[in-house]
Structures are given as structure tokens and as C-alpha cells.
A = this chain, B = another copy of it.
Amino acid sequence: MKIVFTFRPPRALQAQLSEAFPENEFNYFKSVEEADKLSEAEIVVTFGEDLTEKHIENCPKLKWIMVASAGMEKMPFETIKEKDILVTNARGIHKIPMAEFTIGYMLNHVKRFPELLDFQKEETWNKRLLIGELADKRLLVLGTGAIGTEIARLAKAFRMETVGVNRNGHKNDHFDEINKMDELLMVLPDADFIVSILPSTEETRFLLKEEHFQVMKETAVFINIGRGDLLEESILIDALNSNEIAHAYLDVFLEEPLPAEHPLWSQERLTITPHISSVTSEYLPRAMKIFAHNLQVYKENGSDYENKVDLDKGY
């Protein structure tokens, strides 16, 4: 049984796998292009952005694809379905880092840490900088799945009000209030923080328009850690330049990496991070824990897979 990785985990993780499964051989490659044993693989472990229809066609023994991420927009699902290949992924491991990242920037904003750092660089003791709080502020989360709920859970610990928006308005834990997506314009005016973790679907693509930013508070903070095609970036630039909102934090973009000399880079009151909200030092260890669990299940011909992907739904 050939197990082929299209990436190289750190040695410590490789050692853990060898120790847990001494009878198996794990073949690690830097990329799918360099994976010369791919065609013999029964199991492929990938980040999910490299496998094409052609790869799948050329792997006659392939039975299981473990995707060590959650975003699978680029997976050739039709071919995978035809060949009845099992797909599992690492969904659920993003919620902790992404929620920490979001709350981190919310605190960074109200506590004015970048300005405090500038005063330190100038060696200036300035007690007059007015610091804010998260307590009693209103957080609006677009998308109330695992990640949005984890953000709301932490926000409640910070004594915030939490409002969620999802497709049907179905209730979720840790949200004081949930609204339907078509009520978005009604709930935006009261929000102090607007966080989107929406995936890219037909319904969410370019969902946010000028009118949405126009009804936000002037002090509002917009955070997008979902997908870059939630809005035309020019709309956000205009909203910031006309002081419709106070600050935006973007971790995702229409084109990634964000191209050199893109106007967003130098936009005032905008913080740019390189699509890293979900990736931390704990990411791969967690993904490999799911893989190890599922490998045990696979070897025992079991059915108790963690994070089995429904090939019809694509998640």
C-alpha cells in the first residue's frame, strides 16, 4: 500500500507517523510534480490545490485522498466521484487560529497598539491616547458555521453582543441574535465590528456593495478572513477614503498573492495580512492527527472516518 504526500511535513511529524504505523511506508514529496510514485498511490495526502483531473486518471490504485486543509474549490470532484474515491479533509481545525486572529485584531484596534508602538519608538510617554474596550460592543458575524461560532463564543467571553447572519436565519450557540442574509442591511448600522468568514459561493460572490458600507457606523471595523471575492476592492477603498468606516482588516483578496503596487497595499486605515489567519504552528500537527485517526480506520476497513467529505455537496 503506497501512501504519497504531495508536501513534506516537518521531520517530527514524519517520525510520529512512522512510529504510529511502523508497517507502512510514507513517501513524502516537495510537490505533486516531484511525486514520481503518485501513479502507484493508494492514499494521497495533499493540501488540495494541486490535484488535477489528469492526476486522478493516472492513479488507478487510488482509494483515498486526505486533504490537509478545508478549502477544496480546486478539487476535481466529478472525476473523484466517478472513481468512487474516499475524500477526507481537515475542516474544523481552522476555527481556533481564525477566531484567535480575529479577536486579536479587534483588540489591536480598540487598544491602539500600533500607535502605542509608534510612541515608544519616539520615546514619548503619552497617556492621552484614548483606549477603547470590546466589552458591550456589538459584533456582527457573516457566516455562522464552526469558525463564526468560535469567534462569537470568544466575543461573549469579552462581554460583547453577538449577532450572526446566515442563509436561513437558523439559530446557533453563542449568538444573541441571528438574522437572514437578506436582512443584512438592517443589522449593519448597529455593528461595531463586522467579520466575514463566508466561503465563496454563487450567493456570496460580490455580496457587499457600496450601500452596505454606507449604512455602517463611522467607527465600524470591517474584517474579512473568508474569501476575497466577497466584494470589489474598490468599494472598500472608497468607503475608507470617505470615512464611512474606521478601519478594515483583510486577510483574503481577489488575487493572491496581492500583486505588487496594488492600491490596497498603501491604503490608509487598512491592515493587510497574507491569507494566514488559519495557518499556525499547530495547523499541521492537528491535520496529521485527523489523518492518523482515519488511517487506522482505513486499515481496519472501518467506517468511522473523521471529516469525510460528501462528494455531492463538495464539503
Contacts and interface: CB of A to CB of B under 8 A. Distances in A.
Interface SS, A side: loop
B131 A280 contact: yes
Given A107-B104, A158-B154, A271-B120, A132 B260 contact: no
A116 interface: yes
Contacts of A157: 153-154, 157
B281 A100 contact: no
Contacts of A108: 104, 107-108, 113
Contacts of A101: 111, 131
A147 to B, nearest CB: 14
Contact of A265 (B120, B258, B260, B273): B120
Most buried by B among A117, A120, A159, A272: A120
Interface string A35-74: 0000000000000000000000000000000000000000
Contacts of A114: 114, 117
A123 interface: yes
A154 B160 CA distance: 13
A237 interface: no
A129 B280 CA distance: 9
Interface in A220-266: 256-258, 260-261, 265-266
B104 A276 contact: no
A274 B125 contact: yes
Contacts of A135: 96, 100, 282
B119 A261 contact: no
Nearest to A154: B157
Copies per assembly: 2
Nearest to A272: B120
Interface in A121-178: 123, 125-127, 129-136, 153-154, 157-159
A297 interface: no
B132 A281 contact: yes
B159 A96 contact: yes
A114 B120 CA distance: 13
A275 interface: yes
Contact of A104 (B111, B117, B129): B111
A7 interface: no
A279 interface: yes
Contacts of A77: none
A123 B274 contact: no
20 contacts: A96-B133, A100-B134, A103-B107, A104-B104, A104-B107, A107-B107, A107-B108, A108-B108, A113-B113, A120-B271, A125-B257, A125-B258, A125-B274, A127-B279, A130-B280, A130-B281, A132-B280, A133-B280, A133-B282, A154-B158
Given A101-B111, A127-B275, A157-B157, 8 more contacts: A100-B133, A107-B107, A125-B274, A127-B274, A127-B276, A131-B280, A133-B280, A133-B281
Q: Which 5 A-B pairs have the closest CB atoms?
A: A104-B107, A157-B157, A125-B257, A123-B265, A131-B280
